[in-house]
Structure 1
Amino acid sequence: MNNRCALVSQVIPFSCVDGPGSRLALFLQGCNLRCKTCHNPWTIGRCNDCGVCVPHCPHEALNIQAGRVWWQEEDCQKCDTCLHLCPQQATPMALRLSVTDIVTQIRQVAPFIEGITVSGGEATTQLPFLVALFSTLKADATLKQLTCLVDSNGLLSETGWQKLLPIFDGAMLDLKAWNNDHHRFLTGRENGLIKQSIRWLAQHQRLTELRLLVIPGHCDYLENLKPLVTFIHSLGKIPVRINAFHAHGVYGDAAAWRSATAEDVEPLAQALEKEKISVIRPARYL
């Protein structure tokens, strides 16, 4: 099982923004949403070895061998030219790492962290790897105290969540919009399955927090406040984290959208608090 591999875009040994406490954050490559507001858009797709990026790398850190695009880390200056050119919204710098590779990195920082968070992209698009990694950690006497969390968009079936249920401690889920049509506009997909995931996780005491994203001029929470509040109350005492949209790193039309300020967030925060909902405001604004 330790040979199970995943396509990984980044590993951050110490993060204080990917769940409670200090955590190792593992970002998997590939996502099943196409969010206009994604500030890591190069994690959405997966490299198909088209080679478009290769001749444009100013540091000659990319080449093609046997029909595959290869990244030479020692020559890379992290200029991100390849990321902006990629028609797949992918990166040639993603690495294929095994459970053993990741566990080795976790052991190096284990005394200094409270757990790990697997994010993306969308972590659950590589579900077999998630199951293998969490199972390995929970079975290890020296690592089983670490909490295992998933940062997810919720596009996973109940069958998928059931596979994770015995071996993970919780999930942080985003609800990008309340209305189906608006959610489709922002992400390319409807939100019915996402709402089902949120309810199921709450029922099984695995919903760590619900996240809402305030986008000035492109946000429908307040106009759907009554059903939103009813939905949140049905989940039990789940904290709601309000994130503020910022355009840093965003591609496409949303790159021109205005970043959210405290003045944009407060009406929603206060409306939810008036309904006795625990709200976590953004720690800072960009």
Structure 2
Amino acid sequence: MAVPYLQPILWTMQMLIVEYRKEYFLMSKLQANISGIIKSSVIDGPGNRMVIFFQACNLNCLYCHNSHTIGLCNLCGICVDACPTNSLQIDTENKRILHQENTCMRCDSCIKSCPENSSPFYKKMSVEEIVSEIHKVRDFISGITVSGGEVMLQVDFLRLLFQTIKSDKELSHLSILIDSNGNIAQDKWDSILPFTDGVMLDLKAFSQENHKKITGYSNETILESIQYLDKRKKLKELRFVLVKGMNNHEDELRKVSQFMSSVSASVGKSIIKMRKHGIRDEYAFVEEPNADDMEMARNIFEESGLNVLMI
């Protein structure tokens, strides 16, 4: 029989065991759709970082260079028929595409043929599996960046992943950054910001009309996310992608620069030249800005007091 004064201690221990079992169960069962993992990158945040790309996005940007991460596979079989080496098969029982790597030529015929802007190569991974990959390179990286697609569409998985990293003695020193489009409700941010070191966002356009031309969607939620993250001191980088004929008009540039100048000076700000390389064939009409376009944008931004990085 337990001594009475030990009862609270025993009860606390039992609750901790229950919570541990619950967390272990979640970690082993919860999965995310992962498009790919780059073990070393110096362009996705400060230092040398592992980048984890999540599948699925809630925007459809004309100039997207990762358009195969926009949609989810619906097992239509079009990619299977398009494969010249018969390296793809439909596994109807497990609802997935089987990929034979030894015969695959990586010609991307499957990706180019997909009407869903998806890929047969993304796979489901657990938190445990991703953490195992991080451990393999932990001594060579300074942090983790999660990108997409739109990572915040899988926020429950992200929260558990980040909590696991922060509680791991061998990984807790790694910084965690989110690369997001910002088209996410505030309650989603609230659930994950305590475990995040910062967020990097793009501002596609300020006016609704121009934003819809570029992405297919409005930007009210994105503007709110930028302001909210800045208020919470979690916004680390704000980028503007210049697209000729869509968001490079003087009036639009002034509105964008004024909005960006309202964000804290500590937030890094940049103007990125849209490049056509890698965008979908149906959007070949999208024009790259030239040197004069970039210079005009720089001048307008500087007039607003912004010292921007040109990329």
Q: Give the TM interval when normalised to the shorter protein.
A: over 0.9
> Which ranges in structure 1 are unaligned for 5 or more consecutive residues?
none
Match of 1:25 in 2: 51
Matched, 1:256 2:282: no
1:113 to 141, 147, 161: 141
Deviations along 1:198-227, whole A, 9 cap, x unmatched?
000000111011110011222246313443
State the TM-score, normalized to the length of structure 2: 0.86
Which 4+ runs in 1 deviate beyond 3 A? 260-263
Aligned to 2:309: 280
* More moved, 253-262 vs 34-43: 253-262
CA offsets 1:214-246 (integer angstroms, 9 cap, x no match): 112222463134433332232211221211111
How large is the Cα RMSD of the aligned pairs?
1.5
Q: Give the match's secondary structure for 1:174.
A: strand
> Contact 2:57/2:153 (CA < 8 Å) preserved in 1?
yes
Q: What are the within-5 Å matches in structure 2 for residues 157-236 of structure 1?
A: 157-220=185-248, 222-236=250-264
TM-score (norm 1): 0.94
Q: What's the offset of the Cα at 1:47?
A: 0.5
Distance 1:202 1:7 in 2: 29
SS where residue 241 of structure 1 aligns?
strand
**C-alpha distance after superposition, 1:125-150 (max 9, x if no partner):** 11111111111111111111111111
CA distance in 1, matches of 2:287, 2:260: 27
- Confirm or deny: 8 A CA contact 1:178 1:221 kept in the other structure: no
Provide the secondary structure at the position in 2 that maps to 1:97: strand
Bigger Rg over Cα: 2
* Counterparts of 1:262 and 1:151, CA distance in 2: 27
Query: Retained in 1: the 8 A contact 2:247–2:253?
Result: no
Distance of 2:139 and 2:255 partners within structure 1 = 44
Does 2:71 correspond to 1:45?
A: yes
Compare 223-232 and 48-57 and name the one that shifted more: 223-232
Alignment correspondent of 2:27: 2
Match runs of 1:39-118 below 5 Å: 39-66=65-92, 68=95, 69-118=97-146
SS of the residue corresponding to residue 54 of structure 1 reads: helix
1:243 aligns with 2:272: yes
**What is the count of residue pairs matched by the alignment?**
282
3-state SS, counterpart of residue 112 of structure 1: coil
Partners of 2:235 and 2:247 lie apart in 1 by 23
Q: Among residues 128, 131, 144, which one is paired with 2:156 in the alignment?
A: 128
Q: Which moved more, 1:203-212 or 1:217-226?
A: 217-226
1:124-175 deviations in Å (ceiling 9; x for gaps): 1111111111111111111111111111000111100001111001111111
Structure 2: runs of 5 or more not aligned: 1-25
| Whole-Å separation in 2 of the counterparts to 1:212 and 1:233 | 12
